Structure 1
Amino acid sequence: MHVEWPEVLAEATEVRHALHRRPELAWAETETAGAVRAALAALDIPFRECARTGTVAYLASSAPGRHIALRADLDAMPIVESTEVGYTSEVAGVMHACGHDGHTATLLAVARWLKSHERQLPGPVTLLFQPAEEGGHGAREMIEDGCFAGTSDSGPVAEVFGWHNWPGLAVGHAICPDGAVMSANGTFRVRLRGAGGHASQPEATRDPVLAAAAVTVGLQQVVSRRLAPHTAAVVAVTSLRAESAATVTPDDAELAGSVRVAQTADRDHVFDLITRVAEGIASAHEVSATVEASPRYDATVNHAGPAAELREALASVLGDEWAGHDVGVPVMASEDFSYYLRALPGAFALIGAGATASPLHSGNYDFNDDLIDPAARVLIRLAGGPDPHVDSR
């Protein structure tokens, strides 16, 4: 089956735009999964459903070499799109604000190219189309459903690789260290219970709104005053609710936020500090505080051998200056690819999407279609396939 690389890229771009128009939230990616499976079936690539809306596909199962897995994520986010692209989201309040549409389209381009050169592959390749990366622990569910088991011919996966587009980093650059590349994260919620009343009689109330404001300010000092200066961490209050009429002090207020730490082991310590600060400030305001802290993803930690291999692939595609940037690692964002790297050796890279691109999780964000070519070529090289820019046979 002969294919031309420009044709592959054109089709992948069309797929990306189609997925962008029809975004689906975590664990609801039925239409997206259907599009992936239809594309694989058209290529005569065997696959199976995994973790409900996920898909695992198999190439060169009988090849004798090392068995690797390549991963893309499927889900969108509950964000209102404000771009003016011609393929804007048709689903109210949902958009691909993290580029998973681009990741999926890229892996389908890889699938098409590798299938056309399947006999040249040195070892088996498993393709992971994973649901629910955005807080849904989709990687964990894929692993539990046997995504690394392989086929009777291939045996289990030996190493796993993935990538994410990274706005703020110039195109042609990438991040792929040994050790942690992305941070661990968690969320917290603080419920403050006071005594409401008329706004004209503050002495007769115990104001949870004032307490919530004080807790918000106090939590900003956890990182600056309670952690060592070299400890990379973020404590961000991202919402505060205290619904009431303009002349009424409410009984309750609630704030919530996010924690990011470079080392997974630091997360529990930060959670403990949040609880102590919130309860202490609440007590000073004569209200009660209930704190719920929930870990989400561990740090995404690259294994040295696979990371070196991924860096070699990045250099071969992006050029020798690919690592010439000043972005510190680990970045403070998080990824459920961490589950894969706890289960198997592997590595994860962040590939620059443009220094002035809109940030991830923004209503103005749009995946850079120019990344499909280099990202796909990096994955193809990891699989041992021929570089499309060199060998288009």
Structure 2
Amino acid sequence: MPPDAAFITTLRSQARGVQPRTVALRRALHRHPELGLDLPRTRDAVVAALADLPLQVHLGRSVSSVVAVLEGERPGPTVLLRGDMDALPLEEDTGLPFASRIEGAMHACGHDTHVAMLASAARVLAARRHDLAGRVLFMFQPGEEGFHGARHMIDEGLLDRTGPAGRPDAAYALHISATLPAGEVHVRPGPVMAAADTVRVTVSGRGGHASAPHDALDPLPAAAAMVGALQTAVTRRVSAHQPVVVTISRIVAGTTNNIIPETAFMEGTVRTLSEATRATVHEEIRRVCRHTAMAHGCTAEVHIEQGYPVTVNDSDAAVRLGHLADAVVGPDRVVTMESPIMGAEDFSYVLSEVPGALAFLGGCPPDVHPGAAPPNHSNRVVFDEDAMADGVAVYAGLALDALS
């Protein structure tokens, strides 16, 4: 049932009221990005932003995480809200007055906005603590960009912070996107982001003089054949109704023009949307690479490193998020995604334990067409800060709606 108009008007007003704080925190984080699991400056900035609020704050032991708990005035369920904190290894080229001051690091995926929105949502919810029957768990997470930060937090007891009340009953996250119109919310039930695995193949032959390839076993033709064979295997061994991406993005071999190397190394990524398809594709990669190598008289060692699992939105939670967003940003700005995104997200670890949903918040800058905007992970990406007020309202609204 959609929230009433007075509830939404007040919520939006409160989100706009804290916008100066939201922007200030976002810019402070943007100037000083940190990478990976150890984010001491970012952690301290979050703790300072929450210091005057009635929250129980817990710091991570092995990683720079922050978990804050807001207890309502009456018993009830628990809602988890996530904001990831880490940056990317990029040299910023935006020209913004608050651009990164750290060489080789940039908040190119918008995690600085996520942290700022979540901290301001905590402020809005703390002011309405009397409306809460239950509690809100604020998850400020390091290491989303390939470091399994959410898994580290779960291992440290994230989902058991609420004591006798048990685990969270619902979990939500927003992810800003520079290529979606500002303020739009995009969500879908079911798989929303892919599993991401890394494949590494070492092809071994026998080196020799490049003028006499018949006296050697050249691993390069075998490696080249594998690239094409893998694409064929995907189309012939996996149903067309099961999206799969296999991309070999790196091949390294040889030292100069007149030497046939002994080995060739290939590396790439595998993206799938179900665990069954994931297992099938892994088996095919191993089979294709080993037998293609044999056909060329070579051998192949195949290593597949499992990354994040599939991010699966609970159907009811996705619908609930969509209804709340309808009320907050307007139904004309809420989009049901037709297809999942083949990128990966470690909020998948939380959603494999707790029913919930991840949605995308549009952050395309004004006067820029979304199709022409530099995307997330670009060193030129820019986000519309006005969209953060919508994100704060959606975050806070999800908790209020569930705990009223």
TM-score by length of 2: 0.88
Give the aligned partner of residue 376 of structure 1: 392
> Could you tell me whether the CA contact under 8 Å between 1:359 and 1:365 is conserved in 2?
yes
1:161 match: secondary structure: strand
1, 15, 18: which is aligned to 2:28? 18
56, 73, 77: which is aligned to 2:88? 77
Specify the code of the residue in structure 2 equivalent to 1:91: I
**How far apart are the structure 2 equivalents of 1:203 and 1:84?**
56
Specify the code of the residue in structure 2 equivalent to 1:21: R
> Could you tell me whether the CA contact under 8 Å between 2:72 and 2:132 is conserved in 1?
no
45, 63, 72: which is aligned to 1:52? 63
**How far apart are the structure 2 equivalents of 1:363 and 1:271?**
33
Q: Which runs of 5+ in 2 are unaligned?
A: 1-12, 365-369
Give the aligned partner of residue 347 of structure 1: 357
Matched, 1:67 2:78: yes
Give the aligned partner of residue 252 of structure 2: 241
Residues 363 and 226 of structure 1: is their aligned pair in 2 closer, same or farther, counting only changes over 3 Å? Answer: farther
TM-score by length of 1: 0.90
- Offset, 1:233: 1.0
Residues 264 and 169 of structure 1: is their aligned pair in 2 closer, same or farther, counting only changes over 3 Å? Answer: farther
1:38 match: secondary structure: helix
- Offset, 1:155: 5.3
1:134 match: secondary structure: coil
- Offset, 1:339: 1.2
Write the mapping of 1:103-252 to structure 2, written as runs, cut at 5 A.
Answer: 103-151=114-162, 156-252=167-263
2:308 match: secondary structure: coil
Give the aligned partner of residue 41 of structure 1: 51
1:115 match: secondary structure: helix
Specify the code of the residue in structure 1 equivalent to 2:95: E
**How far apart are the structure 1 equivalents of 2:32 and 2:209?**
48
1:315 match: secondary structure: helix
Residues 289 and 155 of structure 1: is their aligned pair in 2 closer, same or farther, counting only changes over 3 Å? Answer: closer
> Could you tell me whether the CA contact under 8 Å between 1:233 and 1:260 is conserved in 2?
yes
**How far apart are the structure 2 equivalents of 1:177 and 1:110?**
23
More displaced, 133-142 or 57-66?
A: 57-66
- Offset, 1:68: 0.7
User: For residues 149-182 of structure 1, what are the alpha-carbon distances to aligned partners after superposition, in whole Å with 9 as ceiling and x for unaligned?
Assistant: 2345865422111121234333343332221111
Residue-pair matches, total: 383
> Could you tell me whether the CA contact under 8 Å between 1:62 and 1:153 is conserved in 2?
no
- Offset, 1:229: 1.6
**How far apart are the structure 2 equivalents of 1:276 and 1:155?**
45
- Offset, 1:220: 2.4
**How far apart are the structure 2 equivalents of 1:109 and 1:328?**
31
- Offset, 1:307: 1.8
- Offset, 1:315: 0.7
Specify the code of the residue in structure 2 equivalent to 1:383: A
> Could you tell me whether the CA contact under 8 Å between 2:193 and 2:343 is conserved in 1?
yes
Residues 88 and 243 of structure 1: is their aligned pair in 2 closer, same or farther, counting only changes over 3 Å? Answer: farther
> Could you tell me whether the CA contact under 8 Å between 1:186 and 1:259 is conserved in 2?
yes
- Offset, 1:121: 2.7
- Offset, 1:324: 4.3
Write the mapping of 1:227-376 to structure 2, written as runs, cut at 5 A.
Answer: 227-324=238-335, 327-354=337-364, 355-356=370-371, 357-376=373-392
User: For residues 215-234 of structure 1, what are the alpha-carbon distances to aligned partners after superposition, in whole Å with 9 as ceiling and x for unaligned?
Assistant: 22222223333322221111
**How far apart are the structure 2 equivalents of 1:374 and 1:35?**
22
Q: Which runs of 5+ in 1 are unaligned?
A: 386-393
Specify the code of the residue in structure 2 equivalent to 1:272: E
